[in-house]
A and B are shown apart, each in its own frame.
Chain A
Amino acid sequence: MEYSIYDRILGGLVGAGTGDAMGAATEARTTEQIREYFGHLVTDFETPPMDTFGAGNKPGQFTDDFSSAFFLAKSIVDNQGVVDQKAVQKALINWSEHTVFFDRFAGPTTRLAIRRFKGEEIGETKGVQLVTRQATNGSAMRISPIGLLNPGNLDQTIADAITVTMITHDNYLALSGACAVACAVSRAVMEDADVYNVLQAALYGAAEGERIGLEIARDVAGPSVLRRLELAIKIGLGHGSPEEKMREIGDRVGTGLHVSEAIPAAIGFFAANGGDALGSIIGAVNVGYDTDTVATMAGAIAGAFQGATAYPEHFLPTMESVNGLDIRGLAVQITEIAKKRMKGGC
């Protein structure tokens, strides 16, 4: 099929949205609990069970992951593609006023950051200090549009991903994770993308994010995103079926809230499924734990790699109508900016 940058960009958005909506139904469960509850692996939109965060959501409805990515992307395209502190803060405040996404789902680090730049004084309590000291996955989960806006330009992708991440997650591990995802998406959206150069871009992003992060951001305790990513890629490209690799990634890399679990796992699922648009998401959705976030990132990369046409036809219209968000309209706007940048060669 002929290369279409629009289809790839739309694919990145559909993949991320699909991962979020599918994962909302499996979040916090184990693979066994998922199979027991649904009677099969989850491969389509399902109604989230009543005992999980997504309870009350309809099939296809988003949580914080893709909804915050959507608002971030919208604010940046309205700012002519320029990523600055004001555009990011505006996006997050706007998003936080949509209670359907924010009130029930916003994570600890993001919630605190939004309160801070809305002008609230945050007391230095024990709990707050501890929360902000954990390197969590909340910036990487919404970073994929940065890669879509900068096709093939990894250094601009890293610069923009850092601007976005420093506003909510100012530690070096969060920067490493966000740059890894953004760079993978930036490479995946190109015509000559293959599984290997997308994985190389992810490793480059993780290394650069870590290096720059140690200079400009807070140091923080925790395992290295880069080293875990090497492990996840080794599992992903190793032998075994996608389902065997799913278990290996879940058991050895981990699929939890920590940035050094969720980001390497997401990229590992892309590798384990040969970049397959839906397979990468299905792995992340059924591995258990923080499935919606891992699947959002895996879907963003795999969707940008294979394009929107790789997904079942009902996914996009279902997500647009259930969430009331114009995903195609956003893809058109991102494509305009991405095309200009590719021609300009900047």
Chain B
Amino acid sequence: MRQTLSRYDRVLGCLLGAAVGDAMGAATETMSTRQIEKRFGGRVCDFQTPPDDVLARGRKAGQITDAFSIPYILTKQLINSEGKASRHLGEAALLE
């Protein structure tokens, strides 16, 4: 460990990591490793514009899909309820 990370930094890191995974994965969803390497000329290591034949087509590089947008909204709802999870809250988050 280079230095002790703050709690805030860890929390932000978790959110950022999830969002980065979603946005980068949006460009490669449903493809095989071979297809990914062929399409992008190698492994995908940064945000890429999703190709026209994947579900995320039409989105910009770095744009998230349902995979991060749902936890984002759910987290906001949880914050509003002072961190208390309930079935009602889970449903409300999905409806929003």
Which residue of A is nearest B33, CB measured? A221
**Which residues of A sit under 8 angstroms from B35, Cβ to Cβ?**
219, 221
Chain B interface SS verdict (over half): loop
A73 to B86, CA, bound (A): 55
- B54's nearest neighbour on chain A, judged by CB, is A129
Contact at B55–A126, with CB atoms within 8 Å?
yes
Partner of B34, one of A126, A133, A219: A219
- For the complex, is B15 an interface residue (Cβ under 8 Å from A)? no
Task: Evaluate contact between B55 and A133: CB separation under 8 angstroms.
Answer: no
Question: In the complex, what residue of chain A is closest to B30 when comparing beta carbons?
Answer: A133
A220 and B32 contact, CB distance less than 8 A: yes
B31 within 8 A of A: yes
Residues of A within 8 A of B34 (CB): 219
A220 to B31, CA, bound (A): 7
Contact B32 A221 (CB under 8 A): yes
B79 to chain A, nearest CB (A): 33
**Roughly how many angstroms separate A141 CA and B96 CA in the complex, as a whole number?**
42
Contact B30 A130 (CB under 8 A): yes
What class of interface size applies to chain A in its complex with B? under 10
Could you say which residues of chain B place their CB within 8 Å of the CB of A126?
55
Distance in angstroms between the alpha carbons of A220 and B36 in the assembled complex: 11
A221 pairs with B55, CB closer than 8 A:
no
A317 on interface, CB distance cutoff 8 Å: no
Residues of A within 8 A of B32 (CB): 219-222
| B residues 10-60 in Cβ contact with A at 8 Å | 30-32, 34-35, 53, 55
Cα distance, A16 to B32, chains bound together (Å): 32
Query: What does the 1/0 interface line of A122-142 toward B look like (CB < 8 Å)?
Result: 000010011001000000000
Shortest distance between the CB of A60 and any CB in chain B (Å): 40
Judge whether B31 and A130 touch: CB under 8 Å.
no
A5 to chain B, nearest CB (A): 41
The winner among B31, B32, B34, B55 for most chain A CB atoms within 10 A is B32
Complex Cα distance, B56 from A126, in Å, reads: 11
The distance in angstroms between the C-alpha atoms of A126 and B57, with both chains bound, is 11
Least Cβ–Cβ distance between B95 and chain A, in angstroms: 22
Which chain A residues lie closer than 8 Å to B31 at the CB level? 221
- Which residues of chain B are within 8 angstroms of A221 by Cβ–Cβ distance? 30-32, 35
Q: In angstroms, how far is the closest chain B Cβ from the Cβ of A132?
A: 11
* C-alpha spacing A196/B45, complex, angstroms: 44
Q: Which of A208-250 contact B (CB under 8 A)?
A: 219-222
Of all chain B residues, the one with the shortest Cβ separation from A126 is B55
- Write the nearest CB–CB distance from B36 to chain A, whole angstroms: 9
CA gap between A73 and B35 in the complex, in Å: 35
Residues of chain B within 8 A (CB-CB) of A130 are: 30, 55
6 smallest CB-CB distances across A and B, nearest first, come from A221-B32, A219-B32, A133-B30, A219-B35, A219-B34, A221-B31
Some 8 contacts from A to B, beta carbons below 8 A apart, are: A130-B30, A133-B30, A219-B32, A219-B34, A219-B35, A221-B30, A221-B32, A222-B32
A219-B32, A221-B35 provided; 8 other pairs, C-beta below 8 A?
A126-B55, A129-B53, A130-B30, A133-B30, A219-B34, A220-B32, A221-B30, A221-B31
